Structures are given as C-alpha cells and as structure tokens.
Amino acid sequence: MKVVRPELSVIIPVSEQPRVHPVEALYTDYQQRIAATGLSYEFIYVLDGSFKKVYKALCALREKGENITIIRLARWHGESTALTAGFEQAKGERILTLPPFYQVDGAAITELIQSAPPADMVIVRRWPRSDSLINRLQTRAFHLILKWILGVDFHDLGCSIRLFNRRILEKVSIYGDQHRFLPILAHRYGYKVREVPLAQSKQDIYQKLYPMGVYSRRLLDLLSIFFLVKFTRKPLRFFGLTGLSSLLAGGIYTGYLVFQRLYMGVALADRPALLLGLLLIVLGIQLFAIGLVGELIIFTHAREQREYTIEQIVN
C-alpha cells in the first residue's frame, strides 16, 4: 500500500515554559491559516521535557480527530534536539517550523506559504519591529557581529518561522543551540536562502534581558559557527595560521633573548621570558600538528562527504 505523504510538515518545538501560548487556540489558528493554502499537511509537536499541560491539551485535540503527531523527549535537551526529532518524523517535502507562541500575525503565515520567493529556504524577519528598544538593540548588535565575522546579511535569526525544502536536511545537521544558525549552515552548502518581512504580532511585544551567561554562550555559538562555516573543510588554514603565528612570535622573541645573552651580557637564568618564548614555539608546533591531523582525517573521508550541492544538471 502506497503511503501518501503530506505536502507540508509543520513542526512546533515546545522548549521554553514561559513562552507557550494556549495550545488549543494557537493550534486552531495555525491549522486554519495553513488549511487556507490548499496544501495537505501534518502537525508535529515536539515536547522538550515534561510539559504535562501541553501534552494533555494536545491529546485532547487528537481525540477530536486532529492530525497531530506528539513527540515527548525524556528530558530537556534544547530546541535544536527537539527540532531534529521533529525533522526525523516529518514526511512532507516542505517543512515549516513554527514557535509555540505568536511571533507574526496569523494571516502572515498563509501569505508566507502562498507567496514565498523561489528559494530552498525562506526565513522571516519581523518587520516593522514594535517590541521594546532593548530587544531591538540586542537584535541589531547580534546581527552586526554576525555580518562582521561571517559576511551574511540576515536581520532576524531569532524568529523561529522558517519554510524550507526537505533536501536541506540531507546536508545540514544542528545540535546545541545551532537552530538559530540553520539558515547560515544551509547557505554554506549553496542553498538559496531568502528573508521576507512579515508583520510582528502584538503578542510578541515584550522586554527580555538575559543573564550574562546567556550572552557568553551566544558568543561561543557565534565562534563555533564561524569555525564550522570557514574552516571545517580546511582546518590547516586555521590551526596552521595560528600555529605559525605563535611559532614565529616565539622564535623571534627567543632569538632576541639569545642575542641579548651572547652580545649584551644579559643573563637568562633568572628571566622567565625565555620560558615564555619556548612555550610559544611549542604551542605553535602543536597547533600546526592539530591542523595537519585534521587535514589527514578530511582527506581520508573526502569521498564519503560532499561539501557542494547540485542545483541542476542539464544533459
């Protein structure tokens, strides 16, 4: 018996308790907006942890005949893991990720699906922004840093609404807190990513300040994405350049100390500077060796992995 696949899989990860709007009302709104497109669809809710009230509400909707798949993770893992679990369950050729709360007006979701520009992934920019000045400043600063270190010009990676082709998941995988950077990772493989402005929901207007630990984790996420995008396939460029810089600095510094000892009579025995110079030399050699080992590993597995994506073959 042939399995009929839906045209669209809607994945809603539930990972943060404070930002979960009433389940039945939100689902009904989402369902009506998507049904208006005329596409066949499925809803997949991924509960990242317990969320007993959400689970009961979803079970009640299923008893009413709603086409909802519920995935419950044994404990909290983070939104990236929740999305990955949803991706594995999804059957549609197109995937739409939505948050368990309003980020844009409901009517904008229908507009997004029906009039999405030709692209492998369409991401949403909430515009005009009507939330607090602090939120807008945080978003602006984050994306300026992102543009500076990666050269990508996106404006609202914090928006969870994304519509993309299933084939992207064949190349792109996410973990940790990398769900925010899914468009960047897709762009890295040559997929076409477009950003469209949609009206921000009035229910998305709130002021949120994170603890300093969250900002430091975001910075580390940026650095990890920078390395993944720039140097995953060429580790020697990163480790080799860093190692050679350390080796050169240590060599020059140690050479200067030796020159002082031989020609200026400056003793070395009671100077820790010599240890610093030697440490830089050893560190440089180790970093270069790490890059070389990385290159050997990539060369060994190069046939198993492709870093390019074929858009079309005309024969």
Is the pLDDT score of 227 beyond 90?
no
- Residues 73-108 have pLDDT tens digits of 999 999 999 999 999 999 999 999 999 999 998 889
pLDDT at residue 305 in the model: 65
Handedness of CA 68, 69, 70, 73 (dihedral sign): negative
Cβ–Cβ < 8 Å for 52, 19:
no
Distance, in Å, from the CA atom of 5 to the CA atom of 92, rounded to the nearest integer, reads: 6
The domain locations on the chain are 8-231, 235-300
- Residues 29-69 have pLDDT tens digits of 999 999 999 999 999 999 998 899 999 999 999 999 999 99
Q: Is 197 helix (H, G, I), strand (E, B) or coil?
A: strand
Contacts of 111 (CB under 8 A, 6+ apart): 198
Is the pLDDT score of 1 beyond 60?
no
Would you tell me which CATH number, out of the four given (3.40.50.720, 1.20.140.10, 3.40.50.2300, 3.90.550.10), belongs to the domain 8-231?
3.90.550.10
What is the token pair recorded at 12?
Answer: 């809603």
Round the average pLDDT of the chain to a whole number and report it. Answer: 89
How many C-alpha atoms does 158 have within 13 Å on its Cβ side?
18
- Give the range among 61-70, 123-132, 179-188, 216-225 with minimum mean pLDDT: 216-225
Greater confidence (112 vs 313) lies with 112
pLDDT at residue 308 in the model: 67
Ordered strands of the 94-97 beta sheet: 68-72, 41-47, 8-14, 94-97, 162-165, 121-126, 193-198
